[in-house]
Chains A and B, each alone.
Chain A
Amino acid sequence: MIFEGILWDVVDPQTVVASPDAKSGYSSPNAYLNKSGGKCAKFVANPINHSFVFVLALVAGAALSALLRGGVSREQRIMRKIWRVNFYDAPWKRYLVAFVSDFIVLYGARLAGGCTLGHMMSDMMQTAISGYIFSAGAILAGIPHRNPAFPSGGLVLCPRSLSQS
């Protein structure tokens, strides 16, 4: 969200402006960036902050782990076996599904005000009701995956050839 705000601000410098009246010292004509006293607007104006740096460091940490492990095989990097079975070596289908999937994931995360890390781990740890409600939604959505009609565990995947071991 901070990254998008930064890009938007580059295109339109009025996206985030300094505002002494705002609690955070910054405001935006966009309602989302301006909520909570301009909290998100402040992050966009000052991207070197704990939240943004944390995400970048998270990626770096995972990269280091992958590097130390010798990386991922070339075949797996392009398309996993289960996707090959379903999409017959058509990577564009896999990439389209991946794009739409994260659209759904991120839009859902914005609606919820957080993802599994923020709600399940952080909020449940603090016994916040929002964490339990989020988990209930996640469990509800997971029910089809336990149904024999979806043996692969994927809503999109209706494998033509998948067997139980």
Chain B
Amino acid sequence: MSQKITKQSKLSLESIRSQFPVLERQVHGKDLVYFDNAATTQKPKSVIDALVGYYSGYNANIHRGIHSLAEEATLAYENTRHSLAQFLNASSSDEIILTKGTTESINLVAKTYGEQTVQEGDEILISCLEHHSNIVPWQMLCEKTGAKLKVIDINDQGELDLDSFEKQLSTKTKIVSVTFASNALGTVNPIKDLASKVHAVGAVIVVDGAQSTSHFNLDMQDLDIDFYAFSGHKMYGPTGVGGLYGKRALLEAMPPFMGGGEMIKEVTFEKTTYADLPHKYEAGTPNIADVIALDAAILFIQKIGYENIQLHEEELLNHATTQLMNIDGLTMYGTAKEKVAVASFGIESIHHQDLAILLDTYGIAVRTGHHCTQPLMNRLGILGTTRASFAVYNTIEEIDTFIAGLNKAVTMLR
């Protein structure tokens, strides 16, 4: 497997895979075929080493100490913030808030910007594709403020119905929150276009970036979006860390989220003043080790390059889709023109749980069920799908193994 990842790349698939210790694993005596990357990606050795390196070499609390270990830890922590600012093309690293992940980031916006801005009679617009983490915080906000939640519909391909979007967007809309890429269907949404239309009515756009940051380049200046939420563990980084990009002017005007140490300037019992950005939104001791390790994940992606990642993943998706469509009684869910490497499907008269159990016995990891998108499943009229989601270290051979396993399982179950 010394083939190059793509014709342009100097990197071989073998050299990429060799960076991931877990890919050596066997499951039920078979080589692991890991196709659950939309749930979480595996971690390269550089990320694992960064974690171990921190705890073995310079573990200390940050932003507070004068001693050397504290300096080193603080520099490394803030270095990740700078890396992220560059990676996302933010206008300043003050616009990068480090959080636990996408869910926390969205909740942060709903609780601060949301509660400050949204009033009774206002409207919040989300889409039918959304993950529960981009639905529930807005429902909670609507309950609290008396605002109304509206939903952009989809077409049969699983793309946003732009008519439905235009019809429901109005001067009553205060927040539009949509996913950049659907975890269940793979659909990539036209975020740049949506953003300009949202701004035209005086609203802000929040983007759920959980499924996008590992697959394609994000440029906050070019996209002109107001808030972007993302998770480290879905971009080859550790769990428990992620971030929120927000335009400086918005973040400065918003009230704080959690209160406590680090997010303050001065505390007295009579009055407390809050820290400037970004620390205003980083109360308490953060997940230092995992923030530091996240930088290694960013470097990993940058070394391969998004163009190569996209080309390789497109090849995987096309191969998988073609093979899947050959299976009798199979329906592909999510056939948008623009997709990330997610293949979701159902097979007539076969329950997805049965497929998952049997595939597991062949060492194949896929995800089945509603993928935390129950409203989307309802809209599609199904209980769940089987989802194979690919990452940069997956191969065509793995897809062939998966298809063979799938056919075997289908024969057993019919």
Same complex: no
Residues of A in contact with B (beta carbons under 8 Å apart): none
Interface, chain B (partner A; CB < 8 A): none
